[in-house]
């Protein structure tokens, strides 16, 4: 199974990085995590490669903040002729019924027609704990984030912890996976962090600091750590320093551009 980074920014897309969207491909199975602006890369050559031979796509949502769902508006263009199942946390996880949330997001006047007009889409609620998606075991846990975000673990291959502070429960949940994709929002040691306008700092506390992320990855004994959901207030040089900081706590840390393919099975 291969992971392709279609979007690795949080909040605001930048010239280099779209907002959150990660694709896992295994034969004719394509599982996409989150529908940020990165979903538009399915129209680019990288995405056309991913879609080759795929008749049914599984899209798994962590939560409904717009940086994770604005790509839903692109679905008719991106998936024309393919079946789609949208998997989202059940109301018992975050207090929001998936069908209702999606119908609220995709409707006039924000979209030409209602969600129910789109053909070939099934919505499925994912419960906390074990779920089956495309023949894989997908485990869900509720994370602490405004509105609640879902953390996911797919078999022993992949875990996603985005839109969360470093959470000790992630250590058990993601233990031993080949690749942990963890959000990384800022670096306490970097002088550039202190130049951020004070009005923006409260939102930082809903997210993760790099030193804590690296320490968590080390305790979680993952194969590799992928830094993602990067903060658009900073740039590539800042991210590079963040990666170097992370590697001091966990050597097998990856910082990659969008449209990078990572083989989950092979070692770092
Ligand atoms: Zn986000
Ligand atoms: Zn969020």
User: Model confidence over 163-211: pLDDT tens digits?
Assistant: 999 999 999 999 999 999 999 999 999 999 999 999 998 889 889 999 9
Q: What percent of the chain has pLDDT over 90?
A: 94
Distance 109 CA to ligand 2 centre (A): 24
**CATH class given for the domain over 2-259:** alpha beta
Distance 228 CA to ligand 2 centre (A): 13
**Interatomic CA distance for residues 71 and 14, integer angstroms:** 15
11-39: pLDDT as tens digits = 999 999 999 999 999 999 999 999 999 99
Nearest ligand to the C-alpha atom of residue 64: 2
The predicted pLDDT at position 55 comes to 94
Distance 151 CA to ligand 2 centre (A): 12
Task: Say how many C-beta atoms besides its own lie within 10 A of residue 188's C-beta.
Answer: 12
Distance 146 CA to ligand 2 centre (A): 7
The predicted pLDDT at position 77 comes to 93
- Residues less than 5 Å from ion ligand 2, measured at CB: 65, 163
Q: At what angle do helices 210-220 and 236-249 cross, to 10 degrees?
A: 40
Distance 144 CA to ligand 1 centre (A): 13
Distance 242 CA to ligand 2 centre (A): 21
Q: Is 76 left (phi over 0), alpha (psi -120 to 50) or beta?
A: alpha
| DSSP-derived 3-state class of residue 88 | strand
The predicted pLDDT at position 267 comes to 62
Alpha-carbon distance values, 211 to 104, 126, 195, 202, 208 (Å): 38, 31, 19, 19, 9
Q: Is the predicted pLDDT of residue 127 greater than 80, yes or no?
A: yes
Task: Say how many C-beta atoms besides its own lie within 10 A of residue 97's C-beta.
Answer: 17
**Interatomic CA distance for residues 17 and 15, integer angstroms:** 6
Short-list 210, 225, 214, 142, CA closest to 180: 225
Domain ranges in the chain?
Answer: 2-259
């Amino acid at each position: 199974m291969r992971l392709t980074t279609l979007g690795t920014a949080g909040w605001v897309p930048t010239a280099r990085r779209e907002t959150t969207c990660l694709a896992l491909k295994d034969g004719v199975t394509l599982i996409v995590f989150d529908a940020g602006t990165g979903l538009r890369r399915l129209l680019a050559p990288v995405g056309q490669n991913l879609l080759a031979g795929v008749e049914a796509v599984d899209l798994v949502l962590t939560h409904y903040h717009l940086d994770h769902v604005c790509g839903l508006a692109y679905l008719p263009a991106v998936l024309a002729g393919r079946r789609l199942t949208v998997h989202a946390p059940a109301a018992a996880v975050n207090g929001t019924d998936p069908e209702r949330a999606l119908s609220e997001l995709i409707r006039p006047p924000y979209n030409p027609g209602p969600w129910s007009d789109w053909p070939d889409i099934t919505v499925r609620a994912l419960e906390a704990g074990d779920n089956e998606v495309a023949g894989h075991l997908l485990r869900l846990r509720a994370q602490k984030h405004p509105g609640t975000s879902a953390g996911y673990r797919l078999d022993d291959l992949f875990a996603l912890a985005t839109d969360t502070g470093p959470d000790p429960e992630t250590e058990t949940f993601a233990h031993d996976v080949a690749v942990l994709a963890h959000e990384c929002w800022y670096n306490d040691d970097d002088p550039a962090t202190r130049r951020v306008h004070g009005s923006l700092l409260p939102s930082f506390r809903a997210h993760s600091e790099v030193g804590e992320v690296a320490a968590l990855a080390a305790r979680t004994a993952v194969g590799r750590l992928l830094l993602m959901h990067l903060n658009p207030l900073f740039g590539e040089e800042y991210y590079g320093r963040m990666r170097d900081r992370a590697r001091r706590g966990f050597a097998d840390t990856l910082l990659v551009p969008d449209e990078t393919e990572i083989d989950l099975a092979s070692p770092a």
